[in-house]
Structure formats: structure tokens, C-alpha cells
Amino acid sequence: QPADPNVKTSTLSGGNIQKILLARELTNQPDMIVAVNPTAGLDIATVDFVHREITRQADEGVGVLLVSEDLDELLVLCDRILVIFQGHIVGTFDASLDVRNSIGLAMSGIGTSHKQEKSQGESKPIMEFSECNRVSG
């Protein structure tokens, strides 16, 4: 944290700016959190805090959509993991199971085909959005 609490945000490190944005968004009591690589560039203590906070929000009924390339982070925070390969969902995995190898194969496109996904018919959406506002940092 900076020595001066009144320092301009533009002079802060990327990690400290990320902490401010997270604090700002979570104090608004959101119904939904969309987090893209939420811990990239953060120190270990802050990563732990972010993970605890995302878990707490989810436990309180807040919807969480987490986009990350960090498989360990996904396995810790998610109930369900969708893998996208070449713009198509190629697999849906229960994060509570031993799925690391299957996810790795799906991420590389091995053993999957988006044609198979399409041929299974219409699937029920796992999340729908309406009346969304974009909050930019």
C-alpha cells in the first residue's frame, strides 16, 4: 500500500490499481461479478485475498463469471469450467472432480470437436444477462 493515502491513482502500481478497482466493485454489493484474470500481477497475499473475496461473494449468492488461463485458479474458485477452443465451447467440466488432464486436452483441441458440440442439439444456457451496465475502470 502507498505511504500516502491521498496519492493519485495514476501514480500507483498496476497491482495497487487492481486492488482499488476490486474494492470499489465489491463495495457496490453486485448481483454479478465478471472477473477476467483477476489475480494477474498481484502478490501472493493479495491473490489469497481476491480468492477469499470471490468465494465469499459466490457463497452469498452473487453470480461469478471468471475468465482465466490459470487452471489452478479455476479449479480452486469454480464449480464448473467451460473450455473454449477456436471460439467454440468444447467441454464443460465439474471442477470438484479430477479433470485437470481432460481440461488440458480440451484446451489444446485434442479429443474435442465443436461439430460434436453442435450436433448435441440446443443446450440450456448456464447464464443469461439482461439490463447490464458497463462499469469501466
Question: What is the rounded (10 degree) CA torsion for 102, 54, 37, 113?
Answer: 30
CATH fold, domain 8-68, is Rossmann fold (3.40.50)
> What is the structure's pLDDT at 94?
92
| Alpha carbon distance 62, 65 (integer Å) | 10
> What is the structure's pLDDT at 119?
39
pTM: 0.70
Residue pair 71/92 in contact (Cβ under 8 Å)? The answer is no
* 121 pLDDT above the threshold of 90: no
Q: Counting Cβ atoms within 10 Å, is residue 86 exposed (0-12), middle (13-18) or buried (19+)? A: exposed
Q: Which tens digits make up the pLDDT trace of 90-116? A: 889 999 899 999 998 998 888 665 444
Q: Which tens digits make up the pLDDT trace of 27-48? A: 888 899 999 998 988 889 889 9
Q: Is 81 helix (H, G, I), strand (E, B) or coil?
A: strand
* 117 pLDDT above the threshold of 50: no
* 120 pLDDT above the threshold of 60: no
For the chain, the domains span 8-68, 79-119
Residue pair 73/85 in contact (Cβ under 8 Å)? The answer is no
> What is the structure's pLDDT at 20?
83
Three-state SS for 86-135 is CCEEEEEEECCCCCHHHHHHHHCCCCCCHHHHHHCCCCCCCCCCCCCCCC
Can you tell me the mean pLDDT for 111-129? 54
Residue pair 14/42 in contact (Cβ under 8 Å)? The answer is no
Q: Which tens digits make up the pLDDT trace of 46-90? A: 899 899 999 999 999 999 999 998 999 999 999 999 998 888 888
Q: What percent of the chain has pLDDT over 70?
A: 80
